[in-house]
Structure 1
């Protein structure tokens, strides 16, 4: 077997003979590269040539090396492949099968561009003009072809296998058992049947069909097993693969005399034999090649992740001629389980470790802008999208977040096909944000882009097996993973809140009055139209506190992580009745204090999370009578705290009062200004008077 790697620059002298019969691109410096992936038979070399994807290449100190350690030209020829480890050689045998299967699945899908696939009939086992092949793919194809061409042989063997069984052996029955005579007739109650002996034809067929079952379940080939034998499966078949199959076939080797049976034995033995050698016909040139393998990779990822057809009548080719790779609808990042948004992806088929160019990032933002406009046009035309996605919020003019992502291929170091290993890429840049204004997440011009890597072997095998159930399961799993991880990343940079207006607030008027302050920060994604999502950039702490204080006058605000139901964090809607007061409401046991906007604990008190309060000077009042604390947060009140403990501490070298707080008790949904207008800090008042100040 000769091995070439897609798009690698070989010296012409190193591969001239290997490339005979296939188009290759040669440059002026005497370098040549192949822009195909697949398999072809080189007649002059008398051997097959595999052209493997460029994901096998890794840049090491400026050199492109196969598996990160071999110069590709050094492993072209069989003698050079001796430097490969056993694991690497075994991997290449199996990898070629998966590439073949993926190309076949791609070609058979009528929605794909089949003009990039070039095929001529491959490999048949038989006699005549033959070559000795040591590729696993040849063996599998020969086994499948034998099954297809020899159904009459199987029928003949099966018919002979069952002929004469369960017939009575009258000679032994009469000679060894006692008859009962009734009405002149002899009746034998225990007749002796013909004994069944070990049938080696049947055992060979069981092994053959077990192999077909294995390659069907493992690689997705069509099995077409037309027999009722109990097949060898699971751990028992693994025992055969690890050596017992070869041993058992050697034991029954000389039981076969017909040409067909001998041919079948040789095929089965080749499957289990480590040398993997079998004679195959070469009467004509054979090949299965695909040009522009990145198109196949896009089809693989789109099948496993995207929606087909695209949602809401969209086309992959957008109005400006750009072609989006993947697009699907799934749960919104902000909403709970009800609303959807668009997810837009782009496949990146590169050599391992290649960095993205600026052009790729810019193009992805363009895809997103086109999708936003498409959604707007649907509503502007008075229509409703079938997906239910509405990106623009009419109330606040905010826009839902559209997650964009790149997904590129990596090679698992242990050649594991079973682990998707999908994760945030380890490249220098893995997150991008395009914005026109700072601190406006819910803005049309704020676009987010994330970059993932996926194990190429996993997606290749999942696509090649063509098992719809497995593909749907992984699609659901990976969409949940994308959503969860993007939410986590966003919450590292933004603080999210849920807020609802206080009873007397007219939201429309408020938004119009404070439009510049809330634009791009507020959005209404929830089923309850009076509940808003507020997103604030954590790096803009000072401005955020000012905005929260201002919004707090008209809205009840609570921290609310992405995906959390806001009803779980917001207080239940109150009636117009005032809260019930404790029995000591008439006693002067409420201590007043001021929390300035510049204080460290201002945010905690504004969000009703105060734990303690320090008064810089000890007031001249009866401290023993303090039972409640009324904080004037920025001069305003909307509730009070239980006092758990009062102690003396030190502040700037002087004695100060430290109060530990308990539960918070709201007295209304609005913040009411009382500082200096109605009250000073350091006073001792009653709850009744507190309520009077709040309501007057």
Structure 2
């Protein structure tokens, strides 16, 4: 196995030795090449697995998040101390989840309009829909063995016991050592008889476990295979790879048990791949992505975003049109959840950032995020103007009386790796300062006043969740992060970091009050779903002093 990192440079000599051509890297003219793809590659001729991992796995210019230099990671097959230690099982775990994430991306975007014409340029593979990749086969063999090993062992013992017909007890007692029960009764597990009968089930077990043993040795899987199984090894196994398909097909119609039939099918697929007489034999196989940011966006989107309702404005615009671009770019991750002011809902709008672990968004990204948010606000206002309703009944963006706009929470989400062995916890946490945009600093309830929180999330957790989590687990995660995002926004406004203080109007003559003081309170007030007029006072706003007598302090909750 070899592991390379996207965006990193390696010598051309090493790259040319690893890959059949240069489609996965760019030559820079100085004897080096830069990895431009993220994905999986397998050479049948060399029997070698190669992973091109995302750049988020780089800790600094030379070292990976695994605490291993990128060049050492590339050549792990020749580093005996690394290759054979069980403590490095995490690298196989990372590789499997990573590979499964590529398959999930392929599955989710196969017939979708998300990528449209960009799909062929973004996702490259020579593995057809009906084909097993080498890694698929390896993983399926291992998983099948782990799931069925007790049943397989039982069949093996059953076969051995069937061999004991007309045992030669004199020879058995003379040449075998029995086990003694508590009652001192001897039990023989090795019997001697005159005639051994070849069992077709046993022949299939020999093929299966010989293949499994080959996987185990070649890729250091640390599987424990019962020693009672007969194994074909070395040159005999190399010969079996070439002729195994024809030998297997001679016993094809002798299996009725489901476990054995599945075992047969796996062996058949394996020998089909290694059969040298096959005209369809491939020299290599791969799945690669040149723009991995699209995969990361889809991973975050699957975890964070709610299903989208096809609700159109008069010009045919839907939320889906705002969310997906023709170039494959997902411009936001969006879900509706309880607003910061009351029990109504508001859209939380996010953008995933695919950087190295220690990077944050630049100015351009921040400007784009504000544009995304304003587009979603306008979409809802268009629906309101045209139909009298928003996207859902409980959404509230604009208050008719004050003409104020509800606060729209925004967030950036970055992938990072803190502990390379942790696939189980999201480690979702705030990262960097809150970014704000406004036309008027003292108008919180203005459609142009927006705040963006920044978060980081454990990339390995996302990697596992993307291909392993079911709908119930994802829904549980969504509830947790929605609540966390809302609470963090409320904390931001409550501890005065936002520079705003909140007050509630104590009288009920809302329309009279608003009409009288509209110029002073424009963009500073909003009437909630439960009929509370809330005023947000900026700490430097002195114009509201004379009207605060009719207000009491208000706490977001």
Equivalents in 2 of 1:311, 1:357: separation in Å? 33
Distance 2:80 2:362 in 1: 38
Q: Does 1:550 align with 2:546?
A: yes
Unaligned residue ranges in structure 1 (runs of 5+): 125-134, 165-194, 213-241, 269-277, 564-696
Deviation string, structure 1 residues 585-608 (Cα, Å, up to 9, x no partner): xxxxxxxxxxxxxxxxxxxxxxxx
1:470 offset after TM fit, Å? 0.8
Instruction: Kindly indicate whether residue 349 of structure 2 is the aligned counterpart of residue 333 of structure 1.
Output: no
Q: Which of residues 224, 227, 232 in structure 2 aligns to 1:246?
A: 224
Q: Distance in 2 between matches of 1:499 and 1:516?
A: 18
Q: Deviations over 1:341-385 (max 9, x none)?
A: 011111111111113111100100110111111111112213412
Tell me how far 1:436 sits from its aligned partner. 1.3
* Cα distance, 1:107–1:355 mapped onto 2, change above 3 Å: same
In 2, Cα distance between equivalents of 1:36 and 1:468 = 30
Contact 1:21 1:42 in 2 (8 A): no
CA contact (8 A) 1:40 1:286 kept: yes
Rate the CA distance shift 1:355–1:552 in 2: closer, same or farther, 3 A.
Answer: closer
Q: Matched residues in 2 for 1:519 and 1:319: separation?
A: 34
Aligned residue runs from structure 1 range 468-547, under 5 A: 468-492=471-495, 493-494=497-498, 495-502=500-507, 506-528=509-531, 531-537=532-538, 539-540=539-540, 543=541, 547=544
Q: Give the C-alpha shift of residue 20 in structure 1.
A: 2.2
1:104 matched to which residue of 2?
A: 103
CA distance 1:552–1:4, shift in 2 (3 Å): closer
Which residue number in structure 1 is paired with residue 354 of structure 2?
349
Does the 8 A contact of 1:331 with 1:340 survive in 2? yes
Secondary structure of 2:76's match? coil
Closer, same or farther in 2 for the Cα pair 1:103/1:411, shift >3 Å? same
Q: CA shift at 1:117, angstroms? A: 4.3
Structure whose alpha-carbon radius of gyration is higher: 1
The secondary structure found in structure 2 opposite 1:17 is: helix
Question: Which whole-Å CA distance do the structure 1 matches of 2:57 and 2:137 have between them?
Answer: 22
Shift of 1:29: 4.3
Residues 255 and 22 from structure 1, CA distance in 2 versus in 1: closer, same or farther, beyond 3 angstroms? closer
Q: Is the 8 A contact 1:396 1:511 kept in 2?
A: yes
Q: Does structure 2 retain, via aligned residues, the 8 Å contact 1:74–1:80?
A: no
Q: SS of the residue aligned with 2:3?
A: strand
The equivalences for 1:428-439 within 5 A come to 429-439=432-442
Give, in angstroms, the shift of residue 331 of structure 1.
Answer: 0.7
Deviates more, 1:473-482 or 1:77-86: 77-86
Name the structure 1 match of 2:369: 364
* Counterparts of 1:88 and 1:57, CA distance in 2: 21
Q: Which residue matches 1:569? A: none
Name 1:275's counterpart in structure 2: none
Taking a change above 3 Å as real, the CA distance of residues 87 and 358 of structure 1, as seen in their structure-2 partners, is farther
Unpaired segments of 5 or more residues in structure 2?
A: 163-186, 191-200, 213-220, 233-246, 264-269, 275-280, 312-317
Q: Deviations over 1:506-564 (max 9, x none)?
A: 43232233223212221112322xx2112223x42xx45x62x52244x3x3322223x
Q: TM-score normalized by structure 2?
A: 0.70
Q: Does the C-alpha gap of structure 1 residues 562 and 142 become closer, same or farther in structure 2, counting only changes over 3 Å? A: same
- Residue by residue over 1:300-334, the C-alpha shift from the partner in whole angstroms, topping out at 9 and shown as x without a partner, is 11111012225743124479988523111111011
Aligned partners of 1:551, 1:64: CA distance in 2, in Å?
61
Shift, 1:26, TM fit: 2.2
Which residues in structure 2 correspond to 1:89-238 (within 5 Å)?
89-109=88-108, 110-111=111-112, 113=115, 115=120, 116-120=123-127, 121-123=131-133, 139-143=138-142
Measured in 2, the distance between the counterparts of 1:88 and 1:97 equals 16
Q: Report the Cα distance in structure 1 between the residues aligned to 2:359 and 2:386, rounded to whole angstroms.
A: 43
| Counterpart mapping for 1:14-93 below 5 A | 14-23=14-23, 24-43=25-44, 45-59=46-60, 63-67=61-65, 69-79=67-77, 81-82=79-80, 84=82, 86=85, 89-93=88-92
- Contact persistence 1:14–1:73 (CA under 8 A): no
Corresponding position of 1:237: none
Counterpart Cα distance in 1 of 2:76 and 2:529: 63
- SS at 1:74 equivalent: helix
Tell me by how many angstroms 1:84 deviates: 4.9
- Higher-helix-fraction structure: 2
- Contact 1:408-1:453 within 8 A present in 2 as well: yes
Number of residue equivalences: 448
Tell whether the 8 Å contact from 1:142 to 1:280 is kept in structure 2 after alignment. no
Q: Would the aligned equivalents of 2:65 and 2:418 in 1 still touch at CA under 8 Å?
A: no
Shift of 1:16: 2.1
- CA 1:449–1:46: 2 relative to 1, 3 Å: same
CA 73–31 in structure 1, closer or farther in 2 if over 3 Å, else same? same
Structure 1 contact 119–289 (Cα < 8 Å) conserved: no
Give yes or no for contact 1:329–1:387 (8 Å, CA) kept in 2. Answer: no
1:458 aligns with 2:461: yes
> Deviation of residue 10 (structure 1)?
2.5
1:560 aligns with 2:538: no
Residue 401 of structure 2 is aligned to residue 395 of structure 1? yes
How far apart are residue 32 of structure 1 and its match?
A: 2.0
Partner of 2:182: none
Identify the residue that residue 11 of structure 1 maps to in structure 2. Answer: 11
- Whole-angstrom CA distance in 1 between matches of 2:271 and 2:231: 21
- Does the 8 Å CA contact 2:322/2:376 hold for their aligned counterparts? no
Distance in 1 between residues matched to 2:443 and 2:470, nearest whole Å: 43
Q: How far, CA to CA, are the matches of 2:521 and 2:310 in structure 1? A: 31
Whole-Å separation in 1 of the counterparts to 2:87 and 2:9? 22
TM-superposed CA distance for 1:13, in Å, is 3.1
After superposition, the Cα gap between the structure-2 partners of 1:141 and 1:430, relative to the gap in structure 1 and judged at 3 Å, is farther
Which residue does 2:383 correspond to in 1? 378
What is the CA distance between 1:147 and its match in structure 2?
11
Contact 1:496 1:562 in 2 (8 A): no
CA contact 2:58–2:65 (8 Å) conserved in 1: yes
Q: Is the 8 A contact 2:331 2:372 kept in 1?
A: yes
Secondary structure (helix, strand or coil) at the match of 1:486 reads: helix
In structure 1, the partner of 2:198 is none
Give the Cα separation in 2 of the matches to 1:343 and 1:357.
21
Residue number in structure 2 paired with 1:423: 429
